């Protein structure tokens, strides 16, 4: 065994990989060899640290120095200054780079200080492709414990007492779901994992798969033991290649160690796991559609009941949980239901992972105790809105959720509080919007997604959402009519009651919540033909202020439509009929004479 004096952790999650962390790692390797440091310093590839906006991330232990936005050209300095001479490269450290007080460790950064990491406990700490590292951090200890010390009923009791609710969207109590499947008498039962994550802006599950795949395997084996199943399936979208590869490696390693397969840990328990790749259809994240897809059919939902716990995959009793839900389970077994239920609020226990994006400084992945306020997430962890703009709303829960306006910034984030204001926890996508966002346009964006992704099986979803989109499109084009809002509300109500599956039933939520909180914007679009946020181009007009215009002609040069004219000493004018409203002239004008109204 070789001991190293320093470990260099390089994030290899999708976010950092796309910002070139692989090249950084290769350069690090080359330079360590060149400086004969390869025997002293070990490079470790890890999963997502969560601070994706600042990637690629490199953390050097034992100091815990966290370097952000590391470029290939920076590696030389890290090796020569930090690793060779022991001087931390301050200019690459996380945190306010200009400030005097730079935090040199991961834990010292505000972004991390306010988080409680349970599901993400190993992400960014261990090498996901090395089972030994997972084992070192108490991995597979929970499986040992249930197989040797607990009866299946006891495992389910712990889950019930912990208060864990599904992290995939609806928030159904996990222990209860397991107990339904456990009660069924059947030789064959299945344990399924939903890793089909399809909400725009969400990537929690992907990060767990990429950063800590063994925690999923361990949890699914525990679930198998609890309900009496010996076969599991992980349904993951093929659009997640890194996640799929790491999960494959992890499954192979687990099989090699006998942690999957027959007679696990010599206890006689048998459990095996297979991956099923999905084509990336939103509806395949709905539980019955997902199971239909695993069976090899077109992924369409079917009516419930019977619920999957009674008749699921191939008509056998089956449970389905999402990745994040599973990631919590080994810790709950080890630390106990009481510990878990002490975190969070009365009806929402534990923590929730959010993928925060949009108009926010720290886009990335965060895990906070339930009951943390939206304000804390947006301002304390997320670092607030860029360019000093005002917070307008946060879209939570993806196409099934809704918008939380500024007046509700202090709402504690838990399942029931969010529902009470017309939003939803959902899987944890959190998109922040500032004053430049048009709420009608946002509703249209989410509806476009739903219309594209509707599987088409039931008419309310297939036709109803399409009709709503037509109305919304009309409104944003300045052709809205009196009564459109009421029509939207009526359609929404009918779709909610009549759609076959959860996705159709929740599809109108983005519209309903934007109407609820931003009705005036809808009205301005319809009655005054005005988009107050200045987004809907059909209602915009660019004009040149004759008093400010110095007739320099720069605007005319940059105009792609050749619709600006004028001459020396005569103010320029825009031909409104030809204007494409691209805004290129506004940026070019040195005298700020052009404005949009």
Residue ranges binding another protein (CB under 8 A): 1-7, 9, 40, 61-63, 84-87, 125-126, 132-133, 135-136, 138, 140-141, 144, 148, 257-259, 261, 263-266
Nearer to another protein, 263 or 315 (CB): 263
Q: Before 56, cis peptide (omega within 30)?
A: yes
Nearer to another protein, 85 or 592 (CB): 85
End-to-end CA separation in angstroms for the chain: 70
Nearer to another protein, 134 or 203 (CB): 134
Q: Before 62, cis peptide (omega within 30)?
A: yes
Nearer to another protein, 263 or 420 (CB): 263
Nearer to another protein, 1 or 577 (CB): 1
Task: Please state the closest distance from residue 61 (CB atom) to another protein, in A.
Answer: 5
How many other CB atoms are found less than 10 A from the CB of residue 561?
13
Nearer to another protein, 86 or 303 (CB): 86
Task: Please state the closest distance from residue 218 (CB atom) to another protein, in A.
Answer: 12
| H helices, E strands: number in the chain | 25, 18
Nearer to another protein, 3 or 99 (CB): 3
Nearer to another protein, 105 or 509 (CB): 105
Nearer to another protein, 131 or 365 (CB): 131
Task: Please state the closest distance from residue 187 (CB atom) to another protein, in A.
Answer: 24
CA distance 568 to 434: 40
Q: Is 266 exposed, middle or buried (0-12, 13-18, 19+ CB in 10 A)?
A: exposed
Identify whether the C-beta of residue 236 lies closer than 8 Å to the C-beta of residue 196: yes
- Three-state SS for 209? helix
Nearer to another protein, 264 or 439 (CB): 264
CA distance 210 to 207: 5
CA distance 260 to 68: 38
Task: Please state the closest distance from residue 132 (CB atom) to another protein, in A.
Answer: 4
Task: Please state the closest distance from residue 40 (CB atom) to another protein, in A.
Answer: 7
Q: Which residues of 272-303 are buried (b: 16+ CB within 10 A; e: fewer)?
A: bbeebebebbbbbbbbbbbbbbbeeeebbbee
Nearer to another protein, 139 or 429 (CB): 139
Nearer to another protein, 40 or 110 (CB): 40
Q: From edge to edge, which strands make up the β-sheet containing 58-61? A: 41-46, 6-11, 58-61, 65-67
CA distance 147 to 140: 11
Task: Please state the closest distance from residue 62 (CB atom) to another protein, in A.
Answer: 4
**Helix axis angle, 213-227 relative to 323-335, nearest 10°?**
70
State both tokens at 446: 């989410």
CA distance 242 to 498: 38
Where are the strands (E) in 47-159, listed by range? Answer: 58-61, 65-67
Nearer to another protein, 85 or 569 (CB): 85
Identify whether the C-beta of residue 54 lies closer than 8 Å to the C-beta of residue 94: yes
> How many residues are there in the chain?
597
Task: Please state the closest distance from residue 3 (CB atom) to another protein, in A.
Answer: 4
Identify whether the C-beta of residue 354 lies closer than 8 Å to the C-beta of residue 368: yes
Task: Please state the closest distance from residue 346 (CB atom) to another protein, in A.
Answer: 33
CA distance 357 to 205: 16
CA–CA distances in Å: residue 223 to residues 155, 178, 264, 312, 438: 9, 8, 14, 16, 45
Task: Please state the closest distance from residue 140 (CB atom) to another protein, in A.
Answer: 6
User: What DSSP string describes 109-133?
Assistant: SHHHHT---STTTTTTTS-TT-HHH
């Amino acid at each position: 065994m070789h001991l190293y004096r320093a470990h260099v952790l390089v994030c290899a999650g999708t976010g950092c990989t796309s910002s070139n962390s692989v090249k950084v790692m290769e350069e690090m390797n080359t330079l360590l060899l060149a400086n004969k440091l390869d025997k002293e310093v070990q490079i470790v590839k890890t999963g997502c640290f969560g601070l994706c906006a600042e990637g690629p991330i490199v953390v050097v232990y034992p100091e815990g120095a966290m370097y952000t936005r590391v470029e290939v050209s920076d590696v030389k300095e890290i090796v020569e200054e930090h690793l060779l001479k022991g001087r931390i490269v301050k200019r690459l450290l996380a945190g306010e780079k200009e400030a005097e007080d730079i935090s040199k460790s991961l834990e010292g950064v505000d972004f991390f200080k306010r988080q409680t990491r349970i599901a993400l406990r190993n992400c960014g700490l261990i090498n996901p492709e090395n089972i030994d590292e997972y084992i070192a951090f108490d991995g597979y200890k929970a499986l040992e414990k249930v197989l040797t010390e607990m009866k299946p009923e006891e495992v389910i009791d712990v889950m019930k007492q912990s208060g864990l609710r599904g992290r995939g969207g609806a928030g159904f109590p996990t222990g209860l779901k397991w107990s339904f499947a456990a009660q069924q008498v059947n030789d064959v039962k299945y344990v399924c994992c939903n890793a089909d994550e399809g909400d725009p802006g969400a990537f929690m599950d992907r990060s767990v798969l990429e950063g800590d795949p063994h925690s999923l395997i361990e949890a699914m084996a525990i679930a198998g033991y609890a309900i009496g199943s010996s076969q599991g399936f992980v349904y993951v979208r093929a659009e997640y290649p890194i996640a799929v590869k790491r999960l494959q490696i992890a499954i192979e390693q687990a099989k090699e160690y006998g942690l999957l397969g027959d007679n696990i840990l010599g206890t006689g328990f048998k459990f095996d796991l297979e991956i099923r790749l999905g084509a990336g259809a939103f509806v395949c994240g709905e539980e019955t559609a997902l199971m239909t897809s695993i069976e090899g059919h077109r992924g369409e939902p079917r009516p419930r009941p019977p619920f999957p716990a009674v008749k699921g995959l191939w008509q056998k009793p089956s449970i389905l949980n999402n990745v994040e839900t599973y990631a919590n389970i080994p810790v709950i077994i080890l630390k106990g239901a009481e510990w878990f239920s002490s975190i969070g609020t009365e009806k929402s226990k534990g923590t929730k992972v959010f993928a925060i994006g949009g108009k926010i400084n720290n886009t990335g992945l965060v895990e906070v105790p339930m009951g943390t306020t939206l304000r804390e997430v947006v301002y304390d962890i997320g670092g607030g809105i860029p360019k000093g703009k005002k917070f307008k709303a946060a879209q939570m829960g993806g196409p099934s959720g809704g918008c939380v306006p500024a007046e509700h910034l202090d709402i504690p984030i838990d399942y029931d509080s969010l529902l009470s204001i017309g939003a939803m926890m959902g899987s944890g996508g959190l998109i922040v919007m500032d004053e430049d966002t048009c709420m009608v346009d946002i509703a249209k964006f989410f509806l476009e997604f739903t219309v594209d992704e509707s599987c088409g099986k039931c008419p309310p979803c297939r036709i109803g959402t399409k009709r709503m989109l037509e109305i919304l499109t009309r409104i944003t084009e300045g052709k809205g009519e009196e009564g459109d809002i009421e029509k939207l509300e009526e359609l929404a109500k009918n779709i909610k009651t009549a759609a076959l599956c959860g996705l159709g039933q929740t599809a109108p939520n983005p519209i309903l919540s934007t109407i609820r909180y931003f009705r005036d914007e809808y009205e301005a679009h319809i009655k005054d033909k005005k988009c107050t946020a200045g987004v809907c181009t059909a209602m915009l007009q660019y004009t040149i202020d004759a008093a400010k215009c110095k007739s320099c002609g720069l605007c005319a040069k940059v105009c792609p439509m050749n619709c600006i004219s004028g001459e020396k000493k005569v103010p320029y004018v825009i031909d409104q009929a030809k204007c494409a409203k691209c805004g290129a002239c506004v940026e070019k004008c040195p005298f700020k004479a052009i404005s949009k109204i």
